Structure 1
């Protein structure tokens, strides 16, 4: 793995235990699940957890390693990608985060740590379109999200989809990446809606 793997926030706010477990494998519905190399899908993803959730994960199994306020899970998700948990002091308070790091890259954990610190020092209003789409994907129930299959044009197959409600038209699927600003706003928590486009972009 190289530094070209994007480090990205995939959930806004502090995940509950139930949300945390759902996000551990949020790409489970992808096609060819057992045939493709999923390292780029997972490596670089991160979100905030609570202290109790981090303590719970620490006690499940002896960690692979502990480095100061960080520890890595002994069980790997895929290949050399595993969960790394961070306790970071931000604005005078300790906050807790989970990130997927590819441990074949010796710098991955430190890059993740620095990226989380940099992002969390920005205001909530700095949430980008990509972060908002990732939050929608993470917070949508499995029954209402998926991947474009054979019924879609070849160029769309394998891309993530979301179920939308179209009023008189009923429900329909749309590519996550094609959601309009209004559709994104309707799927977000109130405090993340209707950000001015220069800030939200």
Structure 2
């Protein structure tokens, strides 16, 4: 795959003008975080972000900081996003398992995603507390957190379907299919 450097303005233009002649084709990483008691964690984007209120996994587009020579280091990219958005580190004692899980393409903007899975040794309640402490630290430092809300859904078919049916929030296009994938038999 060949990539060409662009900028944030190009990305914003594309999401607000999906039929533009030269759309920005984003490649990003994201991660489904799964707790020890089988909850999947994701967040609601804060008002100051490019997609306020949208539900999505922790993640972000690839940029120069993820380059190792001429190769993108996807683990480095998602590691930075986890620390920035949730206060988690991949290389910690709470990590039980970490690996790429899904590849997504097409969708509303034809973006590509490498979706990792991180299984942690925290319960849903412990992970929520860690996230809230992280956001408080950011606010104390004068920074705005990317996620203004933390969402946890139990990975059982009836719970996932109830969430999908009852939550009318804007969602990243991969979210519902991935949630269903986790509970299919």
Answer whether TM exceeds 0.5 for this pair.
Answer: no
Structure exhibiting the larger radius of gyration computed from Cα positions: 1
TM-score range, shorter chain: under 0.3
**1 or 2 for the larger relative contact order (CA 8 Å, sep ≥6)?**
2
Instruction: Tell me the TM-score normalised to structure 1 length.
Output: 0.24
Q: Which has the higher helix share?
A: 1
Instruction: Tell me the TM-score normalised to structure 2 length.
Output: 0.25
